[in-house]
Amino acid sequence: SQVDLFGHCWNSCLHNTRHIVFWIRSIATSDNNNIDIDNDDNAASATTTTTTMDLSFLYEGNNAAFVHLIGKYYVLCWVFHIFSAVVSSAYFPAYKEKDTKDKKSKVPTTFADRINWDYTNASIPYCALIFYFYVAAVLELRPLGLEGRWATQTFNSTHGITLHIASSLYETTNYIFAKKGLVFYLHHVVTVGGCITMLFFGRASYWCCLLGLVEGTNIPLGFVLGGPFRSTPAIKNSLAYKVNGVLLWVMYLVIRVPIPYSIYLLHADLNEHGLGKGDNVAWVFDDATMHSAWVVYMDLVGLFLWGLSMMWFSQITSGMMKALGIGIKATAIKKKAA
């Protein structure tokens, strides 16, 4: 039943998240940072206290709230998924059957087909929420300067990052059934790894939100790839569908292409005010070894995600040009001449 599914999703999410966070904390240092959040005005100030390393910290204060919030958002993603399944099954015939390769007959869709259909549809609302939270967080943290970029959490940053983690876990679950390639798993593993360090250690939330703005491109992408839109000729051939495709291309150009510049700005803070430098604010771990490891990890993650974005940007550019009829005549002339 749906209740059993929600229960299983909740317990699985809590179990896996606790182990991931415990592992990260245990290799950092025996004296760990505990973030004390003052939510009177939905803002957080990072203060450090010494605590004993044990699993109980996951059930105390902010960490318990973070873990449970991730669990709730994970369930919300499945609510969107189930809603898509119910509506699509009732109103979109392409959800249940598809054309054969020769397009002369219909065959039932596979379980993997339906999983792809539903998680693509579900991605539209939760990516819109993530993008909203991240935009709001960047706008409120940036004016606060160094403290805002490195030592402050807010309502919007916390909810944006927890939903980002939850949705990544949800999508990874779907990848198993949708038979996705290894690169998709790697994409989510490195993303969740970075988000977890910045959420549970209460530092660098601004940078997580700034880099996480790339999730906004998944909103128009969901409309481009979503089953209800691709399978309905009236929608696929409409001007609105083409405009959405152009919007996707523009958002990639504005948000994903400049990722290296965001990494450059992060390094500017690290070089001037990193661990033991300047104002000594730009760090996530106060241990020199872990600090260096985190910086290298973020560089590698940024490079990996930017490379994937550029690969996808190339495919999106080709698709947009084809949809707009750009370059088609030139190609046809060349083929005719040959």
The CA distance from 13 to 166, in Å, is 8
Over the stretch 277-294, which tens digit does the pLDDT of each residue have?
999 999 999 999 999 999
Report the pLDDT averaged over residues 202-229: 95
User: Can you tell me the mean pLDDT for 142-168?
Assistant: 96
d(CA 302, CA 262): 9
CA separation for the pair 126, 124 (Å, rounded): 6
Is 279 strand, coil or helix? coil
Model pLDDT, residue 314: 93
Confidence of residue 102 (pLDDT cuts 50, 70, 90): confident
Q: Is the pLDDT of residue 87 over 60?
A: yes
Determine the residue type at 67.
V
Provide mean pLDDT across the span 249-254. 96
Please report where in the chains the tokens 């397009």 appear, as a residue.
103
- Give the helix, strand, coil percentages of the chain, each rounded to 5: 75, 5, 20
Contact by Cβ (8 Å): 281, 147: yes
Highest mean pLDDT among 4-8, 60-64, 213-217: 213-217
pLDDT band for position 55 (50/70/90)?
low
Side chain identity at 152, as an amino acid letter?
Answer: T
Instruction: Report residue 38's pLDDT band, with 50, 70 and 90 as the boundaries.
Output: very low
pLDDT in the model for residue 308: 92
pLDDT on residue 323: 74
Which of 176 and 28 is assigned the larger pLDDT? 176
pLDDT band at 103 (very low <50, low <70, confident <90, very high): confident
pTM confidence score: 0.81
Give the model confidence (pLDDT) of 317-333 as tens digits.
998 888 777 865 545 44
Tell me the mean pLDDT in the region 182-190.
Answer: 91
